[in-house]
Amino acid sequence: MMASPAMCLCVLCGLPGSGKSRLAQAVHGYIQKQGWRTLILSYDELIPENAFDLNTSVGDVEILSKRQTRWKQHRQVVLSCLESFLQDPGAPSPCHSDGGVQEHFNQAVEQQEVLVTLQNTSQPARLVLLLDDNFYYQSMRYEVYQLARKYSISFCQVYLHCPVEVCFYRNQDRGLPVSDEIIMEMSKRIEPPNTAKNHWEKSSLTLNSTEDITDITIQKLLQLFTSALENPLSPVEDDSEQREADREQCASSVMHQADRACRRLVTQTMQMARVNNMSHEVLSALASDLSKQKGCFLRELRRHVLQELPSHKGELVDVEWLVSRAVGMFEQERDVILQRHGIGTRAQIS
């Protein structure tokens, strides 16, 4: 019977070309000699190539949206396979021979001989699962953290900091290079581990990946793995009521700021209309329509905000961005009302 291994989920995150795969292979080769076991799970190899459509321009919004939806679906399947493995490493995920994520996951486990090495170990082994992906949003990494908590295993993160120019150069040597445009866009959005704000990211290590991988680098990683394995996560507690209260509080903050911003916009619009010598009847009708539209807009906005807010504790919410987006949407509705009254666009009344 296979001894149950002490497992650690390690997220490798960074831009394409930052050296995550190279680091994973170096770690694998070194710690195997120390009696550790590793399983490298490269998302590029698990997810079918047609899920990425890497040649699609990021300027094509409709195609980009479909690509992102398909990509997110495949990522969820990876998490599902990972969860099955955590439940029982000796029972690979059931799958169909369709070249999909599940088949690729099982192939990775088989090719790396993870089960064979675990079965040949008389003592409980230490198994580090290296998840090789960009993980540029913290919410992506938080999903892995949740799995670790659910099964009371260890979790850590390694962030590879690398200048964009170096990533461009290295990316050209990849088997399936991505466009410089995508790397640049990802560099603007990437969210490195923030141990000061997020308690769940405390087991994190940042490496300068422009430097060579040295024994010192490997030792730092071993210290990170050892510390994580000595401190497995506690099971998830039912904090649904607190999370819902937090969501309500955040939604109220968004709504308060959006309400104030929309009020200012209505006031400015009425002032502009008066400056342009609109008749009293037009001004009265305009004020009434803007007030009604603002009320309807805010009610609908609250429903959408609650739907979009993250349900997981620890995820940051960009309130400023939500408010800015909401005001932009209300401006569009305001312009429709102006045109309905024959006033024209905001540019014309300003």
- Mean pLDDT throughout 202-230? 93
What are the pLDDT digits (tens) for 13-23? 999 999 999 99
Q: How far is CA 118 from CA 2, 67, 96, 143, 190, in A?
A: 6, 38, 25, 26, 36
What are the pLDDT digits (tens) for 60-69? 444 544 556 6
Contact 171, 186 (CB under 8 A): no
Angle between helices 280-308 and 240-275 (to 10 degrees): 160
**What pLDDT, on the 0 to 100 scale, is given for residue 346?**
47
Percentage of the chain lying above the pLDDT 90 cut: 31
In 3D space, the residue among 115, 100, 105 whose CA is nearest the CA of residue 81 turns out to be: 105
Give the range among 79-88, 115-124, 281-290 with minimum mean pLDDT. Answer: 115-124
pTM, full prediction: 0.65
Give the range among 112-116, 244-248, 260-264, 310-314 with minimum mean pLDDT. Answer: 310-314
Tell whether the model's pLDDT for residue 328 goes beyond 50: yes
- Sequence spans of domains, the chain: 6-230, 240-349
In 3D space, the residue among 237, 232, 86, 234 whose CA is nearest the CA of residue 155 turns out to be: 232
Domain 6-230 belongs to what topology?
A: Rossmann fold (3.40.50)
pLDDT band for position 24 (cuts 50, 70, 90)? very high
Q: Are strands 126-132 and 6-13 parallel, antiparallel or unpaired?
A: parallel
3-state secondary structure of 310: coil
